[in-house]
């Protein structure tokens, strides 16, 4: 009899926790490494799309992404952003409209950028390289994972193999599938096992960055089977293709990522666990230069590159106001990103930055 009562009690407890999880807000954080605001708001750049130094098949790339106006070009490149998100969400950072988003860190490269995005503050004294050092700062993901509400409901997927250190997996306890890691699921699905296989068999273009198709599909399997309440997906190809000087591949990768984000949104709108309870916030760790001359500054970033500290933010979902593209003269900062997530999830974040004015 006692055994039966215990079983009933445990079942009720699990059911209560499941129902509570269904009712609470969820957040998906997405980053696109080194994607410039110029392409987001203006589509393909005329300075690069017809430059043989950066494009192999100019005619074919023009057929895919060129149009007479910036509004048409950006919709060709990011059809989901400039249809659904423009109508249902908010887009910040169009500097042609004097709407600005900037980094506050002065390093202006990846690790410091991700630290700022995820903690709500720069730390130039300690985060000043891309070395695989464990982050001394607590990210919003770690704070969530240490809370009662979100314990073991936080997951991260990244293309760059430094993310286990940025998120300090050793201290935070967050499962981080990044670089060329295989599925971390205790009970991987058939698709996850297949991803493990083909990832091992696929040639590697970059030593520490895998193709985004693996990051994306591992994350999709987590949404389907593990049901995280706070999920981080860090796409990386755009930065690496830009460093390689391949503007054609940079554009194609950006376009694929737009489709991947659309797939995520369509999934969370059919899954009862996520439907009407999920917000998606998207940004980048840094911008890039604009030059095509001897130094090709669009390929790089860092404190010496003019414009590399210029970023952008996109948000949509259950807690986000439908304000569209903001064209008001305003200055925002990447450090406001994590406080906005903390506000949605009702978590305390040790940041002096205010949340962005984008919440309902």
Q: What is the pLDDT of residues 243-270, one digit of tens each?
A: 999 999 999 999 999 999 999 999 999 9
DSSP β-ladder status, 99-102 and 313-317: unpaired
d(CA 228, CA 153): 5
- What topology does CATH give the domain 24-345? Alkaline Phosphatase, subunit A (3.40.720)
Check if the beta carbon of residue 173 is closer than 8 Å to that of residue 138: no
User: With 90 as the cut, is the pLDDT of residue 183 above it?
Assistant: yes
Q: What is the 3-state secondary structure (H, E, C) of the chain?
A: CHHHHHHHHHHHHHHHHHHHHHHCCEEEEEEECCCCHHHHHHCCCHHHHCCCCCCCCHHHHHHHHCCCCHHHHHHHHCCCHHHHHHHHCEEECCHHHCEEEECCCCCCCHHHHHHHHHHCCCCCCCCCCCCCCCCCCCCHHHHHHCCCCCCCCEEEEECECCHHHHCCHHHHCCCEEECCCCCCCCCCCHHHHHHHHHHHHCCCCCCCECCHHHHHHHHHHHHHHCCCCEEEEEECHHHHHHHCCCHHHHHHHHHHHHHHHHHHHHHHCCCCCCCCCEEEEEECCCCCCCCCCCCCHHHCCCCCCCCCCEECEEEEECCECCCEECCCCEEEEHHHHHHHHHHHHCCCCCCCCCCCCCEC
User: With 90 as the cut, is the pLDDT of residue 7 above it?
Assistant: no
The stretch 276-298 carries a mean pLDDT of 90
Q: Per-residue confidence at 13, pLDDT binned at 50, 70, 90?
A: very low
Per-residue CA distances from 304 to 45, 83, 108, 112 (Å): 22, 36, 9, 15
What is the pTM for the complete model shown? 0.94
> Which residue would you say has higher pLDDT here, 227 or 12?
227
Q: Per-residue confidence at 96, pLDDT binned at 50, 70, 90?
A: very high
Q: Per-residue confidence at 3, pLDDT binned at 50, 70, 90?
A: low
Q: What is the pLDDT of residues 23-47, one digit of tens each?
A: 699 999 999 999 999 999 999 999 9
Q: Per-residue confidence at 22, pLDDT binned at 50, 70, 90?
A: low
User: With 80 as the cut, is the pLDDT of residue 144 above it?
Assistant: yes
The stretch 276-288 carries a mean pLDDT of 98
What pLDDT score was predicted for residue 11? 45
Check if the beta carbon of residue 214 is closer than 8 Å to that of residue 207: no
The stretch 332-357 carries a mean pLDDT of 96
Lowest-confidence segment of 8-12, 51-55, 282-286, 351-355 by average pLDDT: 8-12
Question: Helix 58-65 to helix 247-268 angle, to the nearest 10 degrees?
Answer: 30
What pLDDT score was predicted for residue 294? 59
What pLDDT score was predicted for residue 186? 87
What pLDDT score was predicted for residue 282? 99
User: With 50 as the cut, is the pLDDT of residue 51 above it?
Assistant: yes
Domain boundaries, the chain: 24-345
What pLDDT score was predicted for residue 293? 66
User: With 80 as the cut, is the pLDDT of residue 222 above it?
Assistant: yes
Check if the beta carbon of residue 55 is closer than 8 Å to that of residue 248: yes
> Which residue would you say has higher pLDDT here, 296 or 252?
252
What pLDDT score was predicted for residue 45? 96
The stretch 86-110 carries a mean pLDDT of 98
Mean pLDDT (the chain) is 94
| Share above pLDDT 70 across residues of the chain, in percent, rounded to a whole number | 93
């Amino acid at each position: 009899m006692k055994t039966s009562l215990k079983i009933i009690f445990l079942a009720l407890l699990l059911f209560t926790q499941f129902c509570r999880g269904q009712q609470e807000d969820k957040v998906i954080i997405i980053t696109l490494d080194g994607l410039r605001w110029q392409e987001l708001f203006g589509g393909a750049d005329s300075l690069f799309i017809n430059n043989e130094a950066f494009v192999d098949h100019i005619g074919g790339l023009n057929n895919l992404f060129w149009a007479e106006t910036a509004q048409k070009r950006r919709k060709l490149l990011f059809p989901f952003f400039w249809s659904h998100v423009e109508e249902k969400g908010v887009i910040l950072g169009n500097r042609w409209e004097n709407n600005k988003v900037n980094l506050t860190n002065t390093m202006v490269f990846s690790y410091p950028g991700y630290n700022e995005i995820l903690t709500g503050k720069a730390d130039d004294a300690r985060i000043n390289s891309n070395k695989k050092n464990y982050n001394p700062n607590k990210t919003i993901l770690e704070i969530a994972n240490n809370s009662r509400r979100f314990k073991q409901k936080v997951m991260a997927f990244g293309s760059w193999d430094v993310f286990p250190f940025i998120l300090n997996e050793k201290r935070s306890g967050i499962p981080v599938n990044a670089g060329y890691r295989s599925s971390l699921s205790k009970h991987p699905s058939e698709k996850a096992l297949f991803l493990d296989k083909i990832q091992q068999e696929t040639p590697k273009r970059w030593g520490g960055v895998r193709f985004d198709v693996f990051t994306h599909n591992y994350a999709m399997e987590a949404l389907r089977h593990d049901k995280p309440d706070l999920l981080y997906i860090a796409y990386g190809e755009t930065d690496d293709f830009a460093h390689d000087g391949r503007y054609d591949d940079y554009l194609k990768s950006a376009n694929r990522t737009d489709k991947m984000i659309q797939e995520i949104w369509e999934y969370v709108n059919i899954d009862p666990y996520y439907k009407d309870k999920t917000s998606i916030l998207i940004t980048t760790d840094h911008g890039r230069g604009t030059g095509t001359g001897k130094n090709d500054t669009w390929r790089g970033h860092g404190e010496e590159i003019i414009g590399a500290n210029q970023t952008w933010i996109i948000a949509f979902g259950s807690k986000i106001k439908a304000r569209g593209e903001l064209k008001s003269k305003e200055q925002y900062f990447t450090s406001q990103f994590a406080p906005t997530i903390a506000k949605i999830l009702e978590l305390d974040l040790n940041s002096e930055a205010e949340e962005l004015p984008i919440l309902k």
